[in-house]
Structures are given as C-alpha cells and as structure tokens.
Amino acid sequence: MARHTALYELHQSEGARIVDFGGWEMPLSYTSQIAEHHAVRRLAGVFDVSHMCIIDLSGARTREFLRFLVANDVDKLTRRGKALYTCMLNESGGVIDDLIIYFLSDSWFRLVVNAATRDKDLLWIRRHAEAFGVAARERADLAMLAVQGPQARALTASLLAPADAAEALALLPFFGSGVADWFIARTGYTGEDGFEIMLPAHTATRVWRALNALGVVSCGLGARDTLRLEAGMNLYGNDMDETTHPFESGLGWTVALEPAERRFIGREALASVKAAGSQRELIGLVLEERGVLRSHQKVLAKDGGTGEITSGTFSPTLERSIAFARVPSGVHARVQVDIRGRLLAARIVKPPFVRAGKSLVS
Amino acid sequence: MSNIPADLKYTKSHEWVRELPDGTVEIGITDHAQHELGDLVFAEVPEAGRLLTAGEACAVVESVKAASDVYSPLAGEVTAGNPALAASPELINEDAFGRGWLLRLRPAGATHGALLSAAEYAALTSAEGF
C-alpha cells in the first residue's frame, strides 16, 4: 500500500508526475525538471520532503545514547539548535542510514532519517535505546518542506510575523529553532542557502500555496536529485548502503574516531579499515563527451581497475553529465565509462560540482 | 492528455511518420513519448546516406531520466538527421511533431500498412494507462 504525505492531493491537483520513492507516492516534477532545478539555483523552490521521518528522542541519557548509536560524535553539538550530519552503522561498519541530528535540549534530540529506511531505522534505534531509557517518538503529525535557493530565506520569512521572521533570518547555517508553530532549520540538500521547515501536517498545503504566491517554484524529486548531486551530496541506497562503509562512500569526514574512548556501533570495523587503508573510494566524475552517466555503469581505470557509477545524471548547471563512482583507491588519472556499449572519457574531480549557483568545475 | 495529429502514422514504440510531398518521410517520437521521458538533454540522429531496415535502432534520445532507442518505422535511406537537435534537444519536448523531428528517410518500399493510424495509436496509449 503506497504511502502519501499531507501534500499528496496538492501534488495531484498541480498535475505532478507521481513516482514511487521507497514506498511513497511522491512528485517527480510538476512541469520541467530542468526548469525546477534552475529555479532553485536562481531564485527559490519548495520541495515536499514529508516522506522523510522525524524522530524525537527523549530521556536524560539521550546524548550518551546518541554517542553510542552513530559514527559522528554528538558531543560536537554544544549549542542548542545545532545540527550534525552522521551515519548510523551496523557492527561491520556498513551504513544503515545517514541522518541529521538536532540538539534541542539535554533530554531532547531530533533525528531526520530517510523515507525508505524509516521502518528498519526505528527498529534499530528502539532496540538500542531501551538500555539507555531513551524513548523514540515518530512525528507523523509533522510535514516537512524544504525551501531552497538564494531568495528562499527572505521569501519564507515574509510569511512570518516580524519577530518570528527576525528569529528565522538570524539562524546560522546548520542551526534550527522553534519559531511559532514551526521548527525551522537552515539546512538543505541542494547546495543553496535555504530552510527546512517542520510544521503541523494540516497546515502544509496552506504554507506551500503561500510560498507559490510569492514566486517560490514547486519542485519535485527529480530536481532534488540533480541539485544534490551537483552539490556533492550522497544519496542513501545509491552511494552507500549496509554493504559499504563511510570511508569508501566519501563520508570519512563524518566519522569521529576521536576521542578514542568513545564506544559506538561499528567502531571496531571502521578502525580496522582506517588502519589498513580503504580499498575503494567514492570519486566525482565529469563526462568529457556527450551522453549521460547513470548508476551501475562500469568505470574503467587506465591501470585495469574497474569500478561503478553510484549516482549519475545530467547537470543542468554545467550542461554536461556528472557522477559519483566507487573505484579502487588511488585512481588519479582519467577514466572511461561504458555507456551503452561505448567507452567514453570522464575526468575525476573533487565534489561538489556546484555550490551556491557557481560551477566549481573548470 | 497527449496530442496525436490525425495526419500522421505511428508505431507501437511511439515513433511518428509524416509523408512529405517529395516522397520522403519525416520521423520523430510522439508527444506521449517525450512526456514520458521528461526533459531531453541529448539526441543522437543518423547521418544522411545510412541505410536502415524497419525496426532498426536509428537514433537515441536521452533525458535527465533515461536513455531510449528510437526504431526506424520503415526501411530506407536516411536523407537527413535534424541538425538543430545537437544544440537544442529540448525542441523534442517543445514541438515533438514539428521542429523536434529526428530524421528524414527515402522509404525502400511501400510498407506503410504496418503502421498505426492516429486512432489506433490513441487506443494504444490509453490502454497503457496514460
């Protein structure tokens, strides 16, 4: 049985092309995926991301629990409202999910996990939370909108009362705060400035329409995917999963092996990988010829090593194809990609490809 | 709802065929097909002089979402590939039955009988649930 967000009827009435995403019927695009992409790079777009799962953790030992549960160190969160991006690992260091954790108070942290993994995540979290006396509550009463783009913050704030608007506009990057009946965070998945807003589900349609009236463009998951890949951000299930560890997924920067005395799930496995050196790495590719890189295409290095595209697309900003690929470590020259039986040249670049509307690729 | 001009012939694989006054035919993909593919970003069309058999893969259209082969509805010799598509593949989205044409062909024989009428093609696409 397909799941729907509170905005499903709006998506249908807007004529969105609907696709299945991890069991959820979600909008792929409303008009043109490329036009929606450019709207976010140039002005502002709004995405329904209510299919993602908001989980509130509460209990006196919540911080201690999270320091055990995830690979990044929640002790980096010293100021209220600050967010942390992290992986949640299994014992062998495979990625169960990637998530954002907001520090709201010493006994209250908020997690945002992926849609397709919500059920297994909740089971995993609850299984380990019990020993710490921590309760996990799924916030199905909330919807989540991502408003992204150079004008996103100003336009969103104009919907708020002056004092609330000022508070929202004062948020630093990667901070969130309760503002009126919203939880508003300066986070996103596009490489642009903007907000992610968690709000009572029954108000989501009204807010969406109000944003549209200000010129904020309705955007689907298609544009979300091209934007996040240009921004060099991983997609769970494509770029990492339970069979891959963070060091071969471009996520080594999210693993906190220091302090050495912190125990967390997957630590031993990751420490061995780190000591031996990861056999594989995730790299960025720009296709030098015409065509589109797509996941599962084979990558061939000059020395005979082979790898695979994990995410690939046409970049509307660069007007050429870009990708992430998992390849043997130390492939530093050009590679070839097998696209429908033809070997095409691709150049290795360090992601992100685009940040704040500007190409970072020469 | 897709647009299906009555004066064209169609294939089950969503190509259209227009008979031109000089005896050649113009070939493209239907409005329904471009809508299914989404924004087109590349189109690879055949060069003049290439000989095609009916049903042969003769062009590739690639959208943000997927790459798709285009099959020649008829046997014959290519007289032109649409030169405008290299710079503007979006013409296929904007005007699938007009400026977004893919190739022109001099048919090798009179085999138009195998093609679908507009009514038959409309029935096919509605049966697919679109």
Whether residues B64 and A34 touch (CB distance < 8 A) is answered with yes
Nearest-by-Cβ selection for B62 from A222, A292, A316: A292
Rounded distance, CA B113 to CA B12, Å? 13
Strand partners, A109: A57, A103
pLDDT tens-digit readout, A142-151? 999 999 999 9
Q: What pLDDT is attached to residue B109?
A: 79
Q: Please tell me the distance in Å from B36's CA to the nearest CA on chain A.
A: 9
Q: Which residues of B touch A (CB under 8 A)?
A: 38-39, 41-42, 44, 60, 62, 64-65, 67, 93
Mean pLDDT, residues A302-321 taken together: 94
A223, closest residue in chain B (CA to CA)? B64
Can you give the pLDDT at residue A362? 74
Q: Distance between CA atoms of B119 and B116, rounded to whole angstroms?
A: 8
Whether A222 and B41 lie within 8 Å, measured CB to CB: no
Nearest to B67 by CA among A34, A312, A128: A312
Instruction: Judge: B64–A222 Cβ closer than 8 Å, yes or no.
Output: yes
Cβ pair B64:A294 closer than 8 A = no
Residue A306: partners with Cβ closer than 8 Å, 6 or more residues away: A298, A299, A300, A327, A328
The residues of A whose Cβ lies within 8 A of any Cβ of B are: 17, 28-29, 32-34, 222, 226, 290-292, 294, 313-314, 316, 340
Q: What is the pLDDT of residues B13-33, one digit of tens each?
A: 999 999 999 999 999 999 999
Enumerate the residues of chain B whose CB falls inside 8 A of the CB of residue A291. Answer: 42, 62
Looking at this protein, which amino acid is placed at residue A17?
R
Instruction: Give the helix/strand (H/E) hosting B27.
Output: strand B25-29
Phi/psi region, residue A95 (left: phi>0; alpha: psi -120 to 50; beta: rest), is beta
The dotted CATH code for B9-127 is: 2.40.50.100
Residues B114, B10 contacting (CB under 8 angstroms): no
Domain boundaries, chain A: 8-50+141-230, 279-362
> What ipTM was assigned to the predicted interfaces of this complex?
0.83
Min CA distance, B69 vs chain A (Å)? 11
pTM of the model as a whole: 0.93
Three-state secondary structure call for residue A297: coil
Name the CATH topology of A279-362. Elongation Factor Tu (Ef-tu); domain 3 (2.40.30)
User: Which DSSP string corresponds to A143-210?
Assistant: EEEEEESTTHHHHHHTTS-HHHHHHHHTPPTTBEEEETTEEEES--SSSS-EEEEEEEGGGHHHHHHH
Whole-angstrom distance, CA of residue A197 vs CA of residue B24: 58
How many angstroms away from the CA of A108 is the closest CA of chain B?
A: 41
pLDDT digit string, tens, across residues A158-194: 999 999 999 999 999 999 999 999 999 999 999 999 9
Taking a C-beta distance cutoff of 8 angstroms, is the pair B11, B71 a contact?
A: yes
What CATH class has A8-50+141-230?
alpha beta
